Amino acid sequence: MTSRRRVVLLFGGRSSEHSISCATAGGILGAIDRELFEVIPVGITRDGAWTLQADDSARLTLGAELPDVTDDGSRVRLPDSAASREWTVVRSDGVEESLGEIDVVFPILHGPFGEDGTVQGALELVGVPYVGSGVLASAMAMDKHATKSALAAAGIDVAPWVRLTRSALERDRSLWERRVRGLGLPLFVKPARAGSSVGVSKVSQWHEFDAALDIAFAEDRSVLVEAAVPGREIECAVLDGRSGTAPRVSVAGEIVVRGRDFYDFDAKYRNAPGVDLVCPADLESGELAEAQRLAGAAFEVLGCAGLARVDFFFDGTRFFVNEVNTMPGFTPISMFPQCWLATGLSYPELITELIDLGLAAER
């Protein structure tokens, strides 16, 4: 009998999406095939400490209180070099123990300091295989300005946008105001490097703009101002191909917003009313084929690996790529797993496939 592969499930982190990462980890802990995998949960605190956590999915669920990584004083250590895959933990009493050799890391981290290539670089330095995109693709996809620039250069439609920084505004406020006003209303103001709709505001009147900037700049020093594209919100889930084949793309899902300005944090994670997730989306066969083609193309333009969710606005004629998420929400009810479930791949099967892709990835 083949021995179980040893997987570090890495979650939490320093970003504002810490709790969402914890909830994602809870979903995986409850569904991963224990006959195939031995799981070692490693939680990164909000301060950046790597801690050994209990293998308890019930503790990591979204409810009235958002889940958190509790610092128990333990400290998990990566290998000293690429010559070994042995991880260790220093317990709160100072006693050091071996965690054994690790086969692969599943970094369920959302946002900066995890989804942006930083953790991926640390793992590559010590030669540890991991699930998902590499350093460059992770960094590009995390930065909405870089993503849109690369996709636009490849001929993929994106919404018109302007990138702002505080220093640029201070140097020539009137220039940037003219460029922003050229986008028209309504528009969206969002941090360039954040996710889960954290720091995002919809601006319908110009007097709302400065407050929206303040909210976005609280999350990142780089901010995107983006023209609103009227239409439907469509999403496709992407998996890497096997052995050099083309990326695999799921059926499309749709976010139907009723009675809210947009699909914000509360709607995504606090079950606020006014939003329905529909999968599969009601698209004509030609429309679905085009969404799938563009999702696969965006995945390859950025050089992604493992998985991604590609989000579109669809105006009835054209699909505009909004974002490419290299570590999308991954709870059982999130859109990425739901799209694959509707395509014929169950949640536990999806987890297994992603780990297999991580083990086979060439970095």
pLDDT at residue number 362:
80
Can you give the pLDDT at residue 272? 55
pLDDT band at 1, cuts 50/70/90? very low
Each residue of 273-298: pLDDT tens digit? 567 889 999 999 999 999 999 999 99
pLDDT surpassing 50 at residue 129: yes
For the chain, give the percent of residues with pLDDT over 90: 84
Instruction: Compute the average pLDDT of residues 83-94.
Output: 96
Topology of 161-227 in CATH?
Dna Ligase; domain 1 (3.30.1490)
293-321 average pLDDT score? 97
Is it the case that residue 23 has pLDDT exceeding 70? yes
Options 3.40.50.20, 3.20.20.70, 3.90.1150.110, 3.50.50.60; CATH for 5-130 is: 3.40.50.20
Mean pLDDT of 134-159: 97
Question: Global pTM?
Answer: 0.91
Q: Is the pLDDT of residue 101 over 90?
A: yes
- CATH 3.40.50.20 maps onto the chain at 5-130
| For range 1-23, the mean pLDDT | 90
Instruction: Report pLDDT digits (tens) over 11-21.
Output: 999 998 899 99
Task: Please give the pLDDT value at position 85.
Answer: 95
- pLDDT tens figures, 173-185: 999 999 999 999 9
Q: Where in the chain is the domain with CATH 3.30.470.20?
A: 140-157+230-360
pLDDT at 48: 97
Listed residue (1, 214, 22) closest to 108, CA to CA:
22
271 pLDDT above the threshold of 80: no
Across residues 308-327, what is the average pLDDT? 97
Please tell me the least confidently modeled range out of 9-13, 69-73, 254-258: 254-258
Using pLDDT thresholds of 50, 70 and 90, give the confidence band for residue 262: low
Hunting for tokens 């303040």 — which residue is that? 214
Percent of the chain with pLDDT over 70: 94
Nearest to 251 by CA among 281, 293, 231, 294: 281
pLDDT at 166 over 80: yes
**pLDDT interval class at 34 (50, 70, 90):** very high
The average confidence (pLDDT) of the chain is 93
CATH 3.30.1490.20 region(s) of the chain? 161-227
For domain 140-157+230-360, the CATH class is alpha beta
Across the range 160-170, mean pLDDT stands at 94
